[in-house]
Structure 1
Amino acid sequence: MLSLIAKALLSGALIVAIAEIGKRQPALAALVASLPLVSVLGMMLLWYSRPDAENMARHAEATFWYVLPSLPMFLLIPALLRQGVNFWVALLAGCALTVALYLAMTAIGPRFGLRL
């Protein structure tokens, strides 16, 4: 239980740090947010709990393929905001696009040999 609390606190601290940096330097906060810190931390914790090279390799590879469908969201949201769309609507549209692309990836990926 203590391990779970520590993981949650670390994750929360990372999110708060990005939000606080973003108040003063949006580009730096974006850089920090774009770093695969969560993925690296997740892999470290996964390795600690299950040190299996094949499992880790599958996890890292699937992470790569799942990052791709999330990227268009980061182009759609600023485009909508610049057109005057409300932030919450733009965010919802970006999230909806990402979900649709995730579903497409999981449906189409295996046809190309991706193990997701």
Structure 2
Amino acid sequence: MLSYAVKIALTALLVVAVSEIAKRNTLWAAALAALPLTSVLAFVWMWVDGVEMERIASLSTSILWLVIPSLLLFVLLPLLLRAGWSFWSSLGLSCLATALAYGGVVLVLDRLGMAR
């Protein structure tokens, strides 16, 4: 139970740090958010929990493929905001488009036998 509390606390600390830094400097907040810290934390927690190395390697490869459709969010959101869309509409459409792109990539990876 203590390990879950530590995992939650560290992960929450990262999210709060990004949002607080963004109030002062968006470039530094973006640099912190862009680091694959969530992935690194997941790899560390898996290793600490005794997960086999092949599962960690598989997760890393899956993350690599799913980074590609996630870029759609960061392209579409600023385009919509700058086009005069409201924040919530822009965010909603960007998230929907990204989710659909994720689904497409997962289907392709599954068909190619690369999803486990």
Report the TM range for the smaller structure's normalisation. Answer: over 0.9
Question: Residue 29 of structure 1 aligns with which residue?
Answer: 29
Distance 2:94 2:106 in 1: 18
Whole-angstrom CA distance in 2 between matches of 1:14 and 1:49? 21
- Native 8 Å contact 2:18 2:29 kept in 1: yes
Partner of 2:52: 52
CA RMSD of aligned residues (A): 1.2
How many residues align structurally?
A: 116
**Structure 2 runs not aligned, ≥5 long:** none
Query: What corresponds to 1:69 in structure 2?
Result: 69
In the alignment, the residues of structure 2 paired with residue 76 and residue 64 of structure 1 have an alpha-carbon distance, to the nearest angstrom, of: 20
**CA displacement, residues 65-92 of structure 1 (integer Å, 9 cap, x when unaligned):** 1111111110100000101111111111
Q: Which residue of 2 aligns with 1:38?
A: 38
Secondary structure of the residue aligned to 2:105 is helix
TM-score (norm 2): 0.93
TM-score by length of 1: 0.93
Q: Which has the higher mean CA deviation after the structures are superposed, 48-57 or 68-77?
A: 48-57
